[in-house]
Amino acid sequence: KSTAAYNKCGLAQMENNNCDVQRRHLVNDVSLWYRAFEPDLYAPAVRQAIARTVKSIGTGPWGAGVWYGDSQQYFLTTWLATSLLSTSDMMLDYYVYSKFCENPGNQCYVLGGKTCRSCIANGTLHPYPVPQDRCGGCSVRDIIARYQGVTSAVLYEHLKTKIDNIDFQVFDLLGALELPPKRAPKALRIARQRPPKDLGLLNGERWSLHETSGGSPVRAPGGACLDVKADYAGSPVHMWQCFPALASQRWVLNRSTGQLVNGQGQCLDTAEPDVDGGELHMWPCNASNPHQRWDVEAAPGTAGDRTRLRIRNRHGGCLDTRQPGANGGEGMLRTCR
């Protein structure tokens, strides 16, 4: 949604990355970008073709120019969302353009520092003046070097909670924050793990779910959340880094029917109810379907511990996963322990 449509600050402030509301699009923008380019979210018939064909994503500060968003945050949004993709070799091709945009001068801020000031002084990128004193000190190169090798969760948390002072550009605010030790020399990316050869860790009695009217995440002991791959009937469920605001990770337990309703409107269903390790998927909600009836209960010997819950299907079997802390860990039905 266009920042201008909010009408909460003047156009000049929007042009200069000086509106608080410009920084309130993060969760939705990350979700939209990820869902557009993640091959696993497409129907199986086209998934392989997309994975083989799309090798890089070309973009500019579209959200900054066309929608009067924050150009520095929008770059970080696309970098962050691209790092979450399952195709580890996917490249982000980010460029600055001089036309095709009602706010091109805003793009100079992505360059930061001296290069930003030179960009503004050149005068060819904008139809109206953009102040050089808003360039700040940190450039896009500085921020990439700073966060390269840090987990995506750190950048996401910083963008979500640490950039509320609109007197400073996003890059400068991030540049002043303390970072945890870096774990890898490669580009920002959540570590993805291969499934073990055996079924491995049994976590069917160690889920956490805090029931609220608006839904809440179902968390595994490894820290990942139960997530729906795509918004269509038959979509599998898997584990993914927790983004509590995403509809695909919010669940409501209907105590009267036993259904676990996802924020996208479908119910958790057992595709293979009689198979140990059987697939779970999403399906249109039907209260008479026995495969959609679940009990969320304390695991044996853990009464009162909301982090040791068993999510048991009334037809038989418990919600489980091989990889409770890894992106892409398969959700499945296992024999209850």
| pLDDT tens sequence across 214-234 | 788 998 877 889 999 888 888
Distance CA 263, CA 30 (A): 17
Which residues is 279 bridged to in the sheet? 332
Judgement on whether residues 66 and 140 belong to the same structural domain of the protein:
yes
The one-letter amino acid code at 142 reads D
Q: What average pLDDT does the chain have?
A: 78
Among the listed residues 179, 94, 181, 99, the one whose alpha carbon sits nearest the alpha carbon of residue 140? 94
Name the domain count of the chain.
2
Query: Do the strands 251-254 and 294-298 form a parallel or antiparallel pair, or are they unpaired?
Result: unpaired
Among the listed residues 100, 109, 104, 102, the one whose alpha carbon sits nearest the alpha carbon of residue 125? 104
Judgement on whether residues 233 and 153 belong to the same structural domain of the protein:
no
- Summarize pLDDT for 136-148 with one digit per residue, the tens: 899 988 999 898 8
- 109 belongs to a structural domain: yes
Judgement on whether residues 111 and 152 belong to the same structural domain of the protein:
yes
Distance CA 253, CA 248 (A): 14
Q: Say which residues have a Cβ less than 8 Å from residue 150's Cβ, sequence separation at least 6.
A: 179, 180, 182, 183, 188
Helix axes 152-161, 26-37, angle to 10 degrees: 150
Which tokens is 273 given?
């109810």
Tell me what the mean pLDDT of segment 192-215 comes to. 54
- Name the domain boundary from 154, 175, 196: 175
Tokens 């450039």 correspond to 139
- Name the domain boundary from 175, 197, 230: 175
Q: Say which residues have a Cβ less than 8 Å from residue 106's Cβ, sequence separation at least 6.
A: 15, 16, 17, 61, 64, 65, 68, 71, 126, 130
**Confidence check: pLDDT of 7 > 80:** no
Judgement on whether residues 158 and 220 belong to the same structural domain of the protein:
no
User: 10 Å Cβ neighbour count for 275?
Assistant: 13
- 16 belongs to a structural domain: yes
Judgement on whether residues 24 and 165 belong to the same structural domain of the protein:
yes
- 182 belongs to a structural domain: no
Judgement on whether residues 163 and 248 belong to the same structural domain of the protein:
no
- 189 belongs to a structural domain: no
- 183 belongs to a structural domain: no
pTM of the model: 0.55
Is the CB of residue 326 less than 8 Å from the CB of residue 222? yes
Judgement on whether residues 241 and 140 belong to the same structural domain of the protein:
no
Tell me what the mean pLDDT of segment 232-252 comes to. 87
- 186 belongs to a structural domain: no
- Summarize pLDDT for 256-311 with one digit per residue, the tens: 999 999 998 999 999 888 888 888 999 999 998 989 999 988 766 655 666 678 89
Judgement on whether residues 112 and 217 belong to the same structural domain of the protein:
no
Q: Which domain holds residue 38?
A: 3-175
Between 192 and 144, the more confident residue is 144
Tell me what the mean pLDDT of segment 154-169 comes to. 88
**H-state helical runs in the chain:** 3-6, 11-15, 26-37, 44-53, 62-65, 71-83, 108-111, 113-122, 140-147, 152-161, 170-175
- 194 belongs to a structural domain: no
- Structure confidence at residue 97 (pLDDT): 67
Judgement on whether residues 158 and 239 belong to the same structural domain of the protein:
no
**DSSP for 234-260?**
T-BEEEE---TT-GGG-EEEETTTTEE
- 82 belongs to a structural domain: yes
Among the listed residues 16, 28, 38, the one whose alpha carbon sits nearest the alpha carbon of residue 90? 38
Which tokens is 324 given?
């409770």
Tokens 């150009």 correspond to 71
Distance CA 81, CA 32 (A): 9
Give the containing element (helix H, strand E) for 262.
Answer: strand 259-262
The CATH number of the domain holding residue 317 is 2.80.10.50
Judgement on whether residues 156 and 217 belong to the same structural domain of the protein:
no
- Structure confidence at residue 326 (pLDDT): 77
Judgement on whether residues 165 and 249 belong to the same structural domain of the protein:
no
Furthest C-alpha separation in the chain: 70
Judgement on whether residues 147 and 215 belong to the same structural domain of the protein:
no
DSSP conformational letter for 315: T
Please say whether the dihedral angle defined by the alpha carbons of residues 78, 66, 103 and 95, taken in this order, is positive or negative.
positive
Distance CA 138, CA 109 (A): 10
Please say whether the dihedral angle defined by the alpha carbons of residues 53, 54, 56 and 62, taken in this order, is positive or negative.
positive
